[in-house]
């Protein structure tokens, strides 16, 4: 069954008020649309654990530091609604832009520390845009649980911090990255890759897994990182923005996998920026 598409906050609030009055647990899956299996796995996880599920679709201009990237972002609302039909979500919230950023909107939610490196360094302002829109979506949906993919692991940590710091009563749940059979992490950006680009992109996962294996057998990160960067360029990536080992909780840089860690990478192929991360078990 196709879920109703709501565009006005008042309509969403009318629904959630009744659901809460009935004691139902509400889950939210925030997205920017162009849904793929990764998003659908979040809807599925939410539907399994919650009585009601809202999927939000909003291409948030405030988190794009590159206007071309914003203009090229796929917008596929009708297809998205069809893809969600088998998951029996209860509402699709596609807010009109003025429901998120009304005239004169002047507030920014900014999380310090966790936002300094990696995506924060290469996409200035990106996480302020994410934290601001996610705070609004949490408050607008009044959800009890929110589902995010671990593919955007830094985002997940930032959103969790923001909700705790602002006492927003919501549990932020991270779900495993969904991958293509080639190992490539699913992303709406993959649609922009050529056939050659897709083959190159898949190499990233193989190269990152080799680094994880070496870290888990006690090797030091620096030498592995130089080799892996060279391997990524040799595989056909045009640029490697970063390849970093950081602790899984506070995202502090690490030289060895002595605590639970994650290996993070961002690299460009076909002019498309692809990010990924893998868990690293402590030695």
Q: Determine, following the binding rule CB under 6 A, whether residue 152 of this chain makes contact with ligand PAF.
A: yes
Distance, in Å, from the CA atom of 149 to the CA atom of 175, rounded to the nearest integer, reads 5
Stretch that binds ligand PAF, among 18-26, 109-117, 126-134, 201-209 (CB under 6 A): 126-134
Distance, in Å, from the CA atom of 163 to the CA atom of 185, rounded to the nearest integer, reads 26
- The single residue of 36, 39, 126, 205 carrying the catalytic annotation is 39
Pairing of β 239-247 and β 261-269: antiparallel
Taking the complex as a whole, how short is the minimal distance between the CB of residue 138 and ligand PAF, in angstroms? 11
**Whose Cβ is closer to ligand PAF: residue 225's or residue 251's?**
251
**Whose Cβ is closer to ligand PAF: residue 133's or residue 225's?**
133
Taking CB under 6 A as the criterion, the residue among 15, 35, 40, 60 binding ligand PAF is 60
Taking the complex as a whole, how short is the minimal distance between the CB of residue 56 and ligand PAF, in angstroms? 7
Judged by CB under 6 A, the number of residues near ligand PAF is 10
Draw the binding track, 86-125, toward ligand PAF (x: CB under 6 A; -: no contact). ----------------------------------------
Taking the complex as a whole, how short is the minimal distance between the CB of residue 169 and ligand PAF, in angstroms? 19
Distance, in Å, from the CA atom of 210 to the CA atom of 141, rounded to the nearest integer, reads 41
Taking CB under 6 A as the criterion, the residue among 63, 142, 154, 277 binding ligand PAF is 63
Q: Determine, following the binding rule CB under 6 A, whether residue 277 of this chain makes contact with ligand PAF.
A: no
Draw the binding track, 12-51, toward ligand PAF (x: CB under 6 A; -: no contact). ------------------xxx-------------------
Distances (CA, A) of 107 to 132, 133, 148: 8, 10, 23
Residues 6+ apart with CB under 8 A from 4: 91, 92
Q: Determine, following the binding rule CB under 6 A, whether residue 266 of this chain makes contact with ligand PAF.
A: no
Q: Determine, following the binding rule CB under 6 A, whether residue 130 of this chain makes contact with ligand PAF.
A: yes
The question of whether 36 is a catalytic residue gets the answer no
Place of tokens 């002595």: 258
Q: Determine, following the binding rule CB under 6 A, whether residue 187 of this chain makes contact with ligand PAF.
A: no
CB contact at 8 A, 232 and 207: yes
Taking the complex as a whole, how short is the minimal distance between the CB of residue 51 and ligand PAF, in angstroms? 22
CB contact at 8 A, 89 and 149: no
Distance, in Å, from the CA atom of 18 to the CA atom of 110, rounded to the nearest integer, reads 32
Q: Determine, following the binding rule CB under 6 A, whether residue 134 of this chain makes contact with ligand PAF.
A: yes
Distance, in Å, from the CA atom of 114 to the CA atom of 83, rounded to the nearest integer, reads 33
Taking the complex as a whole, how short is the minimal distance between the CB of residue 113 and ligand PAF, in angstroms? 19
Taking the complex as a whole, how short is the minimal distance between the CB of residue 74 and ligand PAF, in angstroms? 12
Residues involved in catalysis: 39
The residues that touch ligand PAF, with contacts defined as CB under 6 A, are 30-32, 60, 63, 130, 133-134, 152, 155
């Amino acid at each position: 069954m196709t879920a109703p598409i709501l565009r006005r906050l008042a309509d969403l609030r009318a629904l959630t008020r009744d659901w809460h009055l009935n004691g139902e647990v509400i889950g939210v899956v925030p997205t920017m649309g162009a849904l793929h299996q990764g998003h659908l796995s979040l809807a599925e996880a939410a539907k399994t654990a919650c009585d009601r599920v809202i999927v939000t679709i909003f291409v948030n201009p405030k988190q794009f530091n590159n206007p071309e990237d914003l203009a090229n972002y796929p917008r596929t609302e009708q297809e998205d609604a069809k893809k969600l039909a088998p998951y029996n979500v209860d509402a699709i919230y596609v807010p009109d832009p003025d429901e998120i950023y009304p005239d004169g909107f002047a507030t920014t939610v900014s999380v310090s520390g966790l936002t300094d490196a990696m995506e924060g360094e290469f996409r200035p302002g990106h996480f302020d845009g994410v934290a601001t829109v996610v705070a609004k979506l949490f408050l607008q949906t009044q959800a009890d649980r929110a589902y995010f993919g671990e593919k955007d692991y830094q985002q997940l940590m930032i959103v969790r911090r923001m909700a705790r710091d602002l006492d927003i009563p919501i549990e932020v749940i991270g779900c495993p990255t969904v991958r293509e059979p080639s190992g490539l992490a699913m992303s709406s950006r993959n649609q922009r890759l050529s056939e050659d680009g897709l083959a190159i992109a898949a190499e990233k996962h193989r190269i990152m897994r080799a680094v994880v294996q070496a870290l888990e057998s006690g090797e030091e990160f620096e030498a592995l990182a130089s080799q892996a960067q060279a391997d990524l360029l040799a595989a056909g990536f045009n640029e490697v923005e970063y390849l970093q080992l950081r602790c899984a909780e506070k995202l502090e840089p690490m030289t060895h996998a002595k605590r639970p860690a994650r290996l993070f990478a961002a690299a460009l192929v076909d002019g498309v920026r692809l990010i990924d991360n893998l868990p690293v078990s402590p030695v």
